[in-house]
Amino acid sequence: LISISSLLLGTTITISSNHWMMAWTGLEINTLAILPLISKPHHPRAIEAATKYFLVQAAASTLLLFSSTTNALFTGQWDVTQLIHPTSCLLLTTAISIKLGLVPFHFWFPEVLQGSSLMTSLLLTTAMKFPPIALLLMTSPSLNHTLLTTMAIASAALGGWTGLNQTQVRKILAFSSISHLGWMTIIIIYNPKLTLITFYLYCMMTAATLLT
């Protein structure tokens, strides 16, 4: 109950925040809330998945905080929508890509999903993607478009190709997620609302598959 309520709290804080510190706090609450759910089975593979998830997310959050601090240093702004320093834009694009699991930062995602239970996998592939995507939507005009487009094309291609090579359902869904995220991030620059529709459809399809 505490974990699920913390997940909801973290997501709400990130989505509704205007200040970078609050956005980062929400992401951290989310990460810490999902860890007990991943490691609940007390299986070595589950513990390994939880450790991998924690290390990757902590690194991405640190990068995000570093990006917003750099922006604040040069511009004096902590507003989420006022990210204008080029270095900050580059760092933020990288940080959110690591959080989402875009290529080439995707290696952790199939491994974590493989070590989690099906219900936790459902949370990881849908609810845990929402805060970073919300941040992407809010900062889409100021992101590094070249880097984002390159990663998006690579994700769409690699996610599809690598998914064909899998025999385990959770890994197929993980690579499907990477591929879908590629399509979402490539369109976010031109039409953010279309990204949201794609994300909702993807969530519905993934939920249907995992619940079955």
- Name residues whose C-beta falls within 8 Å of residue 103's C-beta, 6 or more positions apart in sequence: 151, 154, 155, 158, 159, 178, 182
Grouping H, G, I as helix, E, B as strand and the rest as coil, residue 19 is: strand
Confidence class of residue 94 from pLDDT cuts 50, 70 and 90? Answer: very high
| Tens of pLDDT, residues 180-201 | 999 999 999 889 999 999 999 9
Please give the angle made by the CA atoms of 194, 200 and 204, to the nearest 5 degrees.
Answer: 145
Give the pLDDT confidence score for residue 150 in this predicted structure: 94
> Mean pLDDT across the chain, nearest whole number?
93
Mean pLDDT value across residues 38-42: 90
Exposure of 187 in the CB half-sphere (CA atoms within 13 A): 15
- Structure tokens, 168: 């385990």
Mean pLDDT value across residues 60-64: 95
Global pTM reads 0.93
